[in-house]
Amino acid sequence: MMQTNEHDTGTDHNGTVHSSTVHSSTVHRDTFYVDGRWVRSHSTQQVVVTNPATEGSLALVTLGDVTDVEAAVDAARLAAPGWARTPVSERAALLRAIAAELTARHEEIAQLETAEVGSPIGLSRRAHAGSPIYFFTSAADLIEQSEPDETILGATVLREPYGVVGAITPWNCPLHQSAAKIAPALAAGNTVVYKPSEVTPLGAYALTEAIDAAGLPPGVFNMVMGDGAAVGARIAGHPDVDLVSFTGSTRAGIQVATAAAATVKKVSLELGGKSPAVILPDAVLQPALEQALRSGFLNSGQTCMALTRILVDRTRLAEAEAVVREAVAAFVVGDPTDPHTDYGPLVSKAQQEHVEAYIRQGQQEGLRLLTGGPDRPAALSRGYYLPLTVFSDVPPHSALVTEEIFGPVLVIQAYDTVQDAVDLANRTPYGLCAGVWGATRSEAVEVARQLQAGQVFVNGAGFNPDVPFGGYKRSGIGREHGRYGLEEFQQVKGLVFADDGA
């Protein structure tokens, strides 16, 4: 069974709706997209989708079961040969049509994602609604620009689709993560069975409606809503699914890989992180700390790439703490629909309680609390909020250093030498991202090369959607975004010719 400790489905173990009042205005969604049509679920299990800022119900969504998965996989398998033979120009045109549909609905989707995720509206416009447009457009460009054949010493190497791709995505950046898988998978000639998170399903419906409006052939794209234990596990283990691309917790990723192992299919995993922000002794402290804090608290800390461990020279620890206190005090936590809000609530009551438990654990360990704490900010009477929290001078063995919290909780660690900083940075089972600030680029790059991370931001650089993204160690297998993300969905075939030329 695939589970995560970050999901709150709003149901009991039998699938009965509870804990939220379903208002008459609540949207009901009980259909999935299979073989080019909207079809009703075979299941009666339902979840309530809650606005994390208001705690009011947004939607009542019916989940799928293994019967729904079978229908989706059958449709994708039947459509796979024809889609693989579809000329690149036609596939690219359809991807651009999807991007156009998403562009037309950009503001609607941004507002929807702010409502179901709790992300500030500015972030929703950029990432939740804006990134998918870019990923579909970029995938179209990349497949048209790619060289399908390669010659090696008289042999030819072909790049071909795998067939049916299972795409399983998380709740924290729902459409960003979904488009990063679906767009290159389709561009490469694969058909797709898509399982979004049941915690934030409404954006997935909007994405699916855009794909439907673009007019892909039936069966090329299919969407089944459901939980990980039933729907996700069946997709991962299905013998007619040729590749599984999963984003989520490391624990759930292990379960996906285990389910997929029986059929020896390719698995691409983008998992957890505990990323360090290494501020070298000669770096300008204030801007480096402010940039690190914004990364760590992005989306209320609910991002795998968050820089959650801030490493500073011990001689500058007191100075760093003063900067952090001042910077955090200036951030606005509140209504995510207000454009002046920096950080909104956590996605669910379960996630709020999960993160709160870590803060209390830090207090029980005797860690020095610099800002924040376990209680909801006094100015906010409702919503799944927690204050922006920072513990300082935290030892490397603390759970707050070694475990992914997935909330607005950061730690400051002091180091004595640059080599000590590198060792501390690498001293977790994760290796997704890192940041390095130095007095010069060359100084920062020298340290960045020593960090065990798939992507390192140097001197405050921002996210680049064309650069390969993925992890070392337990942060995953494979890469997403750009050319490397496209190649993740292509397998290679070698044609070796005899010397006679016949």
For residue 85, the number of C-alpha atoms closer than 13 Å in the C-beta half-sphere is 4
Residue 500 φ then ψ, to 5°: -75, -10
Q: How far apart are CA 421 and CA 226, in angstroms?
A: 43
CA nearest 483: which of 150, 160, 145, 152?
Answer: 145
CA nearest 437: which of 287, 288, 276?
Answer: 288
Q: Checking DSSP bridges between strand 57-62 and strand 27-29, what pairing results, if any?
A: parallel
The verdict on whether 147 is a catalytic residue reads no
The verdict on whether 433 is a catalytic residue reads no
Catalytic site residue from 113, 198, 304, 480: 304
Q: How far apart are CA 305 and CA 406, in angstroms?
A: 10
CA nearest 178: which of 223, 122, 126, 124?
Answer: 223
Longest alpha-carbon distance in the chain: 82
In three-state secondary structure terms, 225 is coil
Q: How far apart are CA 255 and CA 253, in angstroms?
A: 5
Q: How far apart are CA 309 and CA 296, in angstroms?
A: 8
Percentage helix, strand, coil for the chain under 3-state DSSP, each rounded to 5? 40, 20, 40
271: which 2 tokens?
Answer: 């998992």
Catalytic site residue from 113, 116, 198, 270: 270
172: which 2 tokens?
Answer: 């924290």
* Residues forming a β-bridge with 386: none
Is the Cα torsion angle 102, 104, 105, 108 positive or negative in sign? positive
Alpha-carbon separation of residue 75 from 81, 135, 208, 220, 351 (angstroms)? 11, 25, 16, 8, 35
Instruction: Find the helix packing angle between 88-104 and 106-117, rounded to 10°.
Output: 70
For residue 16, the number of C-alpha atoms closer than 13 Å in the C-beta half-sphere is 4
Q: Please list the active-site residues.
A: 270, 304
